Structure 1
Amino acid sequence: MGEKQQLINAGHYLISNQLAWGTSGNISARIDSNRMIITASGTFMANLGQDDFVDCQIDTGQIEGTRKASKETPMHLGIYRQRKDVKAILHASPLYTTLFSCSYEPILSELFVETMYYLENIAYVDYYHPGSQELAEAITEQAPNANIIIMRNHGVVVFDDSVLEAQMRLETLEMACRMILKAKESGVQLKMIPEKTVQSFLEDSFYKTRKK
């Protein structure tokens, strides 16, 4: 399956599972060492088609074709330039994750198997206007530190070595944020997995080989 079809499927999945909405968000995939495709400006995730992507050179940022690329293209370029291992980037504003981005509530990783693995490292950047050079620079600076970057009062960007892994990372994040909020609402005391157990889980590959 080609990269475009993988992104189309991911866009439809994000909408169907309330991980994205309307024209909010943008997604991209690395085609080769110096090329990426990214959703065009104003595209609806639910209706993505083969013509809704723009081809872009990673080193120069040069756009091919007549369609306008997403205004968040500089952010994607910064991640791909910093992280040669990254093959897919998803930027979205799911409800619970965005709620946490608008607060100082911590996102816990010591809850269950998937959170231990996918939420091990989360970076944060302050609010900057969407598409701004300041946002792109902040994201680029944090890209080496985590595969999840929370953008304060905006949303999140996740990236990984495949579209499906990035999708799983985003879904795990939203699930954890929802669980934490529901526990607070219900007065349920969450039981954390001990740090020693978490490290054993990650280092001894009881789920998947740890990505470093």
Structure 2
Amino acid sequence: MIGRDKNRTLWMVLKIDRLDPSELTVIEDSTAYSEIECFDLLRRIHEGNRSSGGLKFVTACYGIVGFIKFLGSYSMMLITKRKKIGAICGHTVYAISKSEMIPISKSPNQSNMAYSKNEKRYKKLLSTVDLTKDFFFSYTYNVMHSLQRNLCRNETGEVHYETMFVWNEFLTRGIRNTLKNTLWTVALVYGFFKQRCRIVSGYGVAVECYLLSCID
């Protein structure tokens, strides 16, 4: 997986082991690449693996929702489309427009249990969770905390997942504990977000934010 900042000046590489689908093994490349260096790295990896098909583009994404494993191998849940729904103190808040679950491994040696009725039933239950409704997140603002707490403690930037309001805390625990950072994941809050702008006579434009988080 390749990640970059919005200015395309910093490129990072995340390696996910696909040999043992029963274990989650992720390694972050410590090198910070330029765009040219990153594409040169991908080219060399593609050439070196051309006999087995080389590199193939899977999807573009805007963050990892988490990794999930039932009876078979791990799968990775990704945000593949997003939309801006508002801003708090200059920090953009997004909703999910589309998500996708990517299996870590397609090895033919997987246990038959992975294709059992129970595995299919669990995945069907997961598919009933519509991430495009009532979920929101921000890359730079801790939406799981109150406005007062963020302003008083200046808690922006670094995301703290250990809170009852982060819906995907458990799904991201493995990768966060391994990498010791939250650069690749997003903290989802399940609840209600609505923002309206109103004209206040004599004071220009005032912004009213209504934010309600659910523990559900």
Q: State which structure, 1 or 2, has the greater radius of gyration over its C-alpha atoms.
A: 2
Name the TM-score, length of structure 1 as normaliser.
0.27
Structure with more relative contact order (C-alpha pairs < 8 Å, separation 6 or more)? 1
Name the TM-score, length of structure 2 as normaliser.
0.27
Greater percentage in helix: 1
Greater percentage in strand: 2
